[in-house]
Amino acid sequence: MASLEYVINHFKFSRVLSHDTRTKLVYVLGEVDGENAILSFEKAHYNDEDLSKLASQTKNLKDITENNIYGWGMGNVHLLEPDTRIKMIYPATELHIRKHEQQTRRMVLETPNMYTKVTLPYINSIPAARIQWVKNILDGTSEADRIIFRCNDFSTGFVILPDMKWDGTSDSLYWVAIAIRDDVRSLRDLTTEHLPLLKAIRDTAYAQANKDFGISNDQLRLFLHYQPSYYHLHVHITAISFADAPGLVAGQAHLLDTVIDNIELYNDYYKRATLPFVIGDTHPLFLAHNQQP
Beta-sheet pairing, 25-32 with 35-43: antiparallel
Question: Within 13 Å of residue 33, how many CA atoms lie on the same side as its CB?
Answer: 9
Task: Give phi and psi for 265, each to the nearest 5.
Answer: -75, -45
DSSP one-letter code for 46: P
DSSP one-letter code for 45: P
264 alpha-carbon distance from chain centroid: 27
Is-contact 39 28, C-beta < 8 A? Answer: yes
Question: Exactly one of 96, 194, 232, 234 is catalytic; which is it?
Answer: 234
Nearest partner of 37 among 73, 87, 111, judged by Cα: 87
Q: Across-strand partners of 223?
A: 236, 255
Is residue 234 annotated as a catalytic residue, yes or no?
yes
Question: Within 13 Å of residue 151, how many CA atoms lie on the same side as its CB?
Answer: 15
Which positions are annotated as active-site residues?
Answer: 234
